[in-house]
Structure 1
Amino acid sequence: MAFIPVEKEWRFKLDKKQQYILCANHFSYLDIPILGLFPMAFKFVGKSSLAKIPLFGYMYRTLHITVNRSSYRSRARSLVKAREEIQKGHNLGFFPEGGIRLEKYPDMVDFKDGAFKLAVENNVPIIPVTMPDNYHILPDDDLLNIRRKKCRIIYHEPIWPSDNGDEQVKQLKEEVFRVIQTELTTADANDI
């Protein structure tokens, strides 16, 4: 809607018969619609407060999985619902940082476990997604000032769980974090 040019970079050939979990960095409110450009349908797992937005909120809570991150019960329910959607064959999309929790660009904060537990339990590959420009286009602290700049979205090679159990969840989480953070750091260095 803001006529921002978007450039998609694929680092693998997408298999539309394969089920995926998307995990992306989250520094800007622009991340949500940009992640939605993924060419396969997916259920987004995101904060419940978005369900309060007029019109959009109704569609969001009807089609996607909402979570109140301050409530243990809500987090548990959203994980159960996400598990059900995976078992139905749906793709899922996560911001594994648990919201916009930026401390210093381009450094992400630690990932939550949910997406990685689901991937390991169901042997579903995770596509790390890097959006290095959204923070510069629409910073979280300056929502009224959109800067016109090309927006890149990078879809990295899917990472498959190699085993099951808590150790595999930790390893998968660390690998996805490393892929995205390396890309963010490289992009930031190139922008200087």
Structure 2
Amino acid sequence: MKRILFMIFKYIYIVPCWFVKICLYGKSDKYSEEERFLLLKKITTRINKGGRVIIESFGMENIPKEKGYVIFPNHQGLFDVLAFLQIHPDPFSIIMKKEVSEIILIKQVLRLLKGQAIDREDVRQSMKVILKMTEEVKSGRNYLIFAEGTRSRDKNNLLPFKGGSFKSAMNAKCPILPVALIDSYKAFDTNSIKEVRLQIHYLKPLYYEDYKDLKSTEIANLVRDRIDIVIKENENL
């Protein structure tokens, strides 16, 4: 919490301007996906660096060259998306829990990214989101989904990955990009503004030929296991 307040007060003079820009870019179709993403990248990069958060990235060569893939990282907290907005080179949309998507600023950022809110208690609404995402991925849009469904509150330890999170990727027959987040929880969950370092590891993607014969739960377990191995190998570096 201290770091969030530190970031806000450090940039209090420009936060209103950023908020207005995010709203304008999100409401207007005259801005391309690249322009909207670049706006958020510039803002988050400045905020992250000003907030004394250093992000180290590995395996960037594993990011698919063709657009239309789904990123599946583990989920440690509110800072995760800020880390990806700074580091990831390609525009992406995001699937977010409905209750989180209604929070001010998060709501506007979700609109800017053309992301979608999912209500896990509403099966019909969830299916609509999955179908829409499938079509958008087929057309070349990238997505980011936290397959755990909620953030782990146990540092670098993972929750089970939900098979249903992989349905859209399976239906779109697109590349699945596993990503290991290490120490991302330290940014906002430690009550300090001391410099912190976190790691983002892009693993080798799974292509349709790799997973076409697997069930969604099997894919979920495979992705989780690969991420877990990378976390255990690197968390104490």
SS at match of 1:121: helix
Give the counterpart of 1:98 among 149, 153, 176.
Answer: 149
Cα displacement (A) at 1:78:
1.7
1:32-181 paired onto structure 2 within 5 Å = 32-36=81-85, 37-61=87-111, 63-102=114-153, 104-139=154-189, 145-161=192-208, 162-164=210-212, 167-181=214-228
Residues 83-105 of structure 1 show CA distances to partners (whole Å, capped at 9, x for unaligned) of 12112221111100002143x33
Q: Which amino acid aligns with 1:50?
A: V
CA-to-aligned-CA distance 1:8-58 (integer Å, 9 cap, x gap): 111634443343210001011111211223111111111122332324413
CA contact (8 A) 2:76 2:185 kept: yes
Counterpart of 1:99, as a letter, is T
1:164 maps to a residue whose letter is: K
CA drift of 1:163 comes to 4.9
Matched letter for residue 168 of structure 2: L
Contact 2:62–2:205 under 8 Å retained in 1: no
User: Normalization by structure 1: what TM-score?
Assistant: 0.83
Which blocks of at least 5 consecutive residues in structure 2 are unaligned? 1-46
Measured in 1, the distance between the counterparts of 2:71 and 2:194 equals 26
Q: Distance in 2 between matches of 1:47 and 1:90?
A: 20
Larger Rg: 2
* TM-score of the pair, normalised by structure 2: 0.69
Q: Is the 8 A contact 1:50 1:60 kept in 2?
A: no
| Letter in structure 1 aligned against 2:197 | K
Q: Which has the higher helix share?
A: 2
**CA RMSD, 1 decimal:** 2.3
Distance between the aligned counterparts of 1:145 and 1:48, measured in 2?
Answer: 29
Secondary structure of residue in 1 paired with 2:130: helix
Identity %: 22
Counterparts of 1:153 and 1:73, CA distance in 2: 34
Paired residues of 1:65 and 1:81 also in contact (CA < 8 A): no
Deviations 1:130-175 (A, max 9, x none): 1101122322xx5x6454212211111111233536x342332222
Residue 27 of structure 1 pairs with residue 98 of structure 2 = no
